[in-house]
Amino acid sequence: MSQAQQSYETLVQSLRLLAAEYAVQVEALPNFVHVPDEIASTYSESFLLAEAIQEAGLINQEQLAQLRELDEVLACMSEDETLWTDEALKHGADWSAVRTRASDLLSLLGEQQRTPELNWLTYVPGGDTTGA
């Protein structure tokens, strides 16, 4: 698998995580992470290679534009700390809209929504973690 294909697969998995229902998101991540932050940063980090993925011909310009818009939505959300709680992730309209947008993007890419496979991620607990 080429680097561009690996980057594409990472992007798809991050979209699956964003599109998933709250219970799936929580189950997919270690119990010591801040789930809303981890979901957003996983997407933002995978999005960094979107232009290279597009240049490799794996996504088109419209798909790239939609991916960029999703990244911008998450960036705007980061300005409101009330959106970054488990309760907001579970019940909030903003996160519901992100799930819908991510699901629509998966369809636009010709990918199915299913449980995300995050075996490519590495997690390191912080020093002040409790209950890990």
73-101 pLDDT, tens per residue?
999 999 999 999 999 999 999 999 999 99
**What residues contact residue 97 under an 8 Å CB cut-off, 6+ apart?**
73
- Average pLDDT across the chain, whole number: 92
pTM, full prediction = 0.89
Q: Where are the beta strands (DSSP E) in the chain?
A: none
What would the two tokens of residue 91 be?
């019940």
Closest by Cα among 15, 12, 20, 10 to 96: 20
Total number of residues shown for the chain: 132
Is residue 113 within 8 A of residue 103, CB to CB? The reply is yes
